[in-house]
């Protein structure tokens, strides 16, 4: 409200909202773990979902972070350290590369979980078509309600 000089409409825009990350669920909290890293990662994700029930409930899914046969502590440590060295933000990585990486990871996780990727994200072709139809102008944003199940035929 302070940034918008009391403009309720501006303050209501989703892009002006931030997620709550509870104590113990920050990246560095998980990064400090040396054993049972999958459990620590899973607990952190659940805590984040619970702290943001209206926006993030169920967003992290049910990946098998605790399956040490597939994701040993050594593998997770290497993965966490790799991503800790990267600056993954729009200033350092173009939007389309972050989007492509996101889609790839969603597809991989959905393939492993027995679900289809279509259950979790909007197909890129549909997104392009919707964007062309809507013709957003500079400064506008487009909302993709991926949490809402699609109804088809």
What integer is the mean pLDDT of 7-16? 74
Domain count, the chain: 2
Tens of pLDDT along 64-94? 888 888 889 999 999 899 888 888 776 777 7
101 and 68 within one domain: no
Cβ distance 29 to 1 under 8 Å? no
Boundary (domain end) residue, out of 86, 104, 126: 86
**pLDDT, tens digit, for every residue of 32-68?**
999 999 999 999 999 999 998 887 888 787 778 888 8
Residue 106 near residue 120 (C-beta atoms within 8 A): yes
Decide which of 86, 116, 132 is a domain's last residue. 86
Q: Please name the residues in contact with 109: beta carbons below 8 A apart, sequence gap of 6 or more.
A: 61, 63, 120
With the C-alpha atoms ordered 78, 87, 20, 111, is the resulting torsion angle positive or negative? negative
pTM of the model: 0.56
Could you give the angle at which helices 73-84 and 37-51 cross, rounded to 10 degrees? 60
Query: Cα separation of 47 and 52, whole Å?
Result: 9
Whether 80 and 114 map to the same domain: the answer is no
- pLDDT above 50 (res 149): no
Expressed as residue numbers, the domain containing 111 is 94-153
Pair 106, 81 in one domain? no
- What integer pLDDT is reported at residue 123 of this predicted model? 61
Residue with tokens 């994701």: 71
Q: Choose the final residue of a domain: 86, 111, 143.
A: 86
Q: How confident is the model at residue 18 (pLDDT cuts 50, 70, 90)?
A: confident
Rounded CA gap, 78 and 106, in Å?
Answer: 20
């Amino acid at each position: 409200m302070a940034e918008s000089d009391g403009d309720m409409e501006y303050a209501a825009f989703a892009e002006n909202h931030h997620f709550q990350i509870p104590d113990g669920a920050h990246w560095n909290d998980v990064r400090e773990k040396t054993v049972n890293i999958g459990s620590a990662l899973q607990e952190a994700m659940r805590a984040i979902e619970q702290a943001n029930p209206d926006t993030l409930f169920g967003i992290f899914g049910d990946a098998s972070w605790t399956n040490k046969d597939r994701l040993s502590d050594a593998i997770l440590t290497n993965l966490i350290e790799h991503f800790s060295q990267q600056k993954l933000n729009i200033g350092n990585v173009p939007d389309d590369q972050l989007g492509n990486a996101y889609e790839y990871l969603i597809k991989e996780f959905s393939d492993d979980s027995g679900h289809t990727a279509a259950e979790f994200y909007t197909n890129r072709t549909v997104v392009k078509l919707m964007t062309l139809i809507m013709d957003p102008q500079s400064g506008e944003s487009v909302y993709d309600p991926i949490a809402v199940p699609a109804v088809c035929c």
